[in-house]
Structure 1
Amino acid sequence: MSETQSGDALVSFRGVQKSYDGESLIVKHLDLDIRRGEFLTLLGPSGSGKTTCLMMLAGFETPSHGEIWLDGKLLNRVPPHKRDIGMVFQNYALFPHMTVGENLAYPLKLRKLSASEIAERVKKALGMVRLDALAHRYPGQLSGGQQQRVALARALVFEPKLVLMDEPLGALDKQLREHMQLEIKHIHERLGVTVVYVTHDQSEALTMSDRVAVFKDGIIQQIDTPNALYETPSNAFVASFIGENNRLDGEVVSVDGTLCEVRLANGVVVRAERAGAEAARPTAMSIRPERVRLGLLAAPCETRLSAQLIEQIYLGDHVRLRLALGPAQGFMVKVPIGDVDTAWQAGQTLDVGWMVKDLRALAPQDA
């Protein structure tokens, strides 16, 4: 293991930058350790640098600056086919003239394995994705979900240390996509292989990952467990990008340890958890829609305000209510269907409440 790489890291990016024109940086000084056996998702909007990082790790792009290490080996000048990395793409990238079995055998033949070993590994990989009966079919005879399973099996069949997945479920419909998310997660848990997964779908990232790195403008804003990203976002961008979020802007009027008081634009002062906000400075506060209570349920809350109900949106197991809370016209509240008061009507003024710990005062980065 190189000293450049920390003990439990399989992959290390060290001071990596990427520019296509020599001026603007798509990736800005990336330092990142990917732990052995973890499922790490690179998440961010289009153009944030996440796919470029994956392509540099795969060898399809070269860093403009810095080093990438894999298991103690410097990768910068190693061609893609010699990195021993499995890849799964959105468009499957299967060979149409080869059967499913032949597609899976192809990377094993390149590695000059014996015919018996190839047959055994292909059989095992097909069983893993539950396609045992389809070995002799061609990709064109398979559904999109089956093709994606074949692509996944082909990436795993030669038992690589690392598998990279670039928006692999983007072409599938919602139900199949959700099913495949769990399937990939369970395969990862069984095999213990290291997976780096790129998506712009935050619910997919939360469902599948051990850790998520949130990218914006070529910089990782926060890297954490899904739970920590959702419950304790480090800035306003992460709060808005991960899950649903209500943002309340104001100015910090006092600080008391881990708490602070913030004056909203309408003059109301509220207390919040201090999470990056500074005294006498603007702050963007974050609260999740499911942490807000309405009507009679707001009575025991530490913070209570009044808001006007603008509309209700019925979603089966819960109702989303849009409220005007001071200057915030799009303040959303999520109410389980059993807690909805049938008397609530648009235009009505409702009590709104929450606990202080659920309102986080963040540094006001543009979100």
Structure 2
Amino acid sequence: MATETRQAAQETPPAHVSFRGVQKTYDGENLIVRNLDLDIRRGEFITLLGPSGSGKTTCLMMLAGFETPTAGEIRLGDCVINRLPPHKRNIGMVFQNYALFPNMTVRENLRFPLSVRKFSAAEIDAKVKRALEMVQLGGFENRRPAQLSGGQQQRVALARALVFEPQLVLMDEPLGALDKQLREHMQLEIKHIHQTLGITFVFVTHDQGEALTMSDRIAVFNHGVIQQIDVPEVLYEKPANAFVASFIGENNALSGRIDSRTGDIVSVLLPDGNRIAVSAGDAGGPGSDTLVSIRPERVRLARERAPRDNLLRATVLEHIYLGDHVRLRMQVAGCDNFTMKTPISRLDRCPAAGEHVDLALAPEHLLALAA
């Protein structure tokens, strides 16, 4: 047993950043962050995800040193940093508005954090050159921010956060001002830079797709509490509760009541009288109200059914052609916004509005969650 314990400790590296019992309130009554316990591993890309007001940005600002916890403790390595000023934390920061100095050139913006830290002139020149190459902006040294596109300004802001080789990089919705195509491109650029450098990144966003694309792990916040923290695949396929299911990606939710339970499968009675077999999530026992969750891409027409699949009758309300796939909005078991998403290649023809179809829902893709 002692050997197994030592092996487990060796396999789990010590946390680079730790929040323990952290609370934050501005008025002494309403907690923006509630008893937060969170470990961030060295070298990982972790995203704090949640709606506006969920506490994710406040956590980032406390880690950066721009806010002070009301209670609890924040550690960076072995050091408690609750009262440590921002400039002594060796943390790089990228803001949503980039916060570049408009009267300085790109080179001068990058030189500034190095000059403050008393690097020699030769070291500064070498680090600036390396940082610009990293973000593919060699040759832009003498331009001012106003002479750059939004994507180029974002790259300069990232280079400035990385130029002094911090132990931690914090990013507060840095892609929010970019158009869709550039935003998606920069998501991959930042991910590749992280993989190359191996520095710990903490990223804040309310964009679920962005979090799924970039992160090693995602912490989903709501009302100042982490609802679930896990790798993107688990968050999407096995949400811990109804909030996570609805907030991460698209989701269908059918109201029902749990009838019985056998192992990890529950029988759910739907409003139309149908009973379906569903994987047990966080829902209670027999008699409990539940929301049955399933992703639109997991819904199939009955002709593709497997032996254990549930069958439900649906009425097509609307179909939307999207090139490579079709979205069908249907009425199913009292729900008027049940969505099916299927590739064009799997449809002989697209069902018309008003048409009745039978759907196949696999128990392993259905999840019973507390209502």
Q: Structure 1 length as normaliser, TM-score?
A: 0.96
Partner of 1:38: 44
Q: Is 2:178 aligned against 1:178?
A: no
Q: Is 2:281 aligned against 1:275?
A: yes
**Taking structure 1 as reference, are residues 299 and 211 closer, same or farther at Cα in structure 2, changes over 3 Å only?**
closer
State how far apart, in whole Å, the 2-side matches of 1:310 and 1:7 are: 52
State how far apart, in whole Å, the 2-side matches of 1:64 and 1:125 are: 37
Q: Is 2:27 aligned against 1:21?
A: yes
Deviations 1:79-124 (A, max 9, x none): 1111110000110100111110111111000110010000000000
1:9 corresponds to which of 15, 21, 28: 15
Matches within 5 A, 1:224-235: 224-235=230-241
Partner of 2:268: 262
TM-align CA RMSD: 1.1
Does the 8 Å CA contact 2:254/2:333 hold for their aligned counterparts? Answer: no
Matches within 5 A, 1:138-217: 138-217=144-223
Does the 8 Å CA contact 2:302/2:311 hold for their aligned counterparts? Answer: no
Does the 8 Å CA contact 1:298/1:351 hold for their aligned counterparts? Answer: no
**Which residue type is aligned with residue 243 of structure 2?**
F
State how many pairs are aligned: 359
Does the 8 Å CA contact 1:40/1:213 hold for their aligned counterparts? Answer: yes
Task: Give the SS at the match of 1:311.
Answer: strand
1:336 corresponds to which of 333, 343, 361: 343
**Which residue type is aligned with residue 232 of structure 2?**
P
State how far apart, in whole Å, the 1-side matches of 2:306 and 2:234 are: 28
1:326 corresponds to which of 330, 333, 347: 333
State how far apart, in whole Å, the 2-side matches of 1:192 and 1:224 are: 20
Runs of 4+ in 1 over 3 A off after TM superposition: 298-301
Does the 8 Å CA contact 1:301/1:353 hold for their aligned counterparts? Answer: no
Task: Give the SS at the match of 2:213.
Answer: helix
2:127 corresponds to which of 111, 121, 144: 121
2:256 corresponds to which of 250, 255, 262: 250
For structure 1, list consecutive stretches of 5 or more residues without a partner in the other structure. 1-5
For structure 2, list consecutive stretches of 5 or more residues without a partner in the other structure. 1-11
State how far apart, in whole Å, the 2-side matches of 1:176 and 1:81 are: 31
Matches within 5 A, 1:76-155: 76-155=82-161
Q: Structure 2 length as normaliser, TM-score?
A: 0.95
Task: Give the SS at the match of 1:342.
Answer: coil
Partner of 1:285: 292
Partner of 2:361: 354
Does the 8 Å CA contact 2:306/2:362 hold for their aligned counterparts? Answer: no
State how far apart, in whole Å, the 1-side matches of 2:292 and 2:142 are: 57
Partner of 1:3: none
Does the 8 Å CA contact 2:294/2:366 hold for their aligned counterparts? Answer: yes
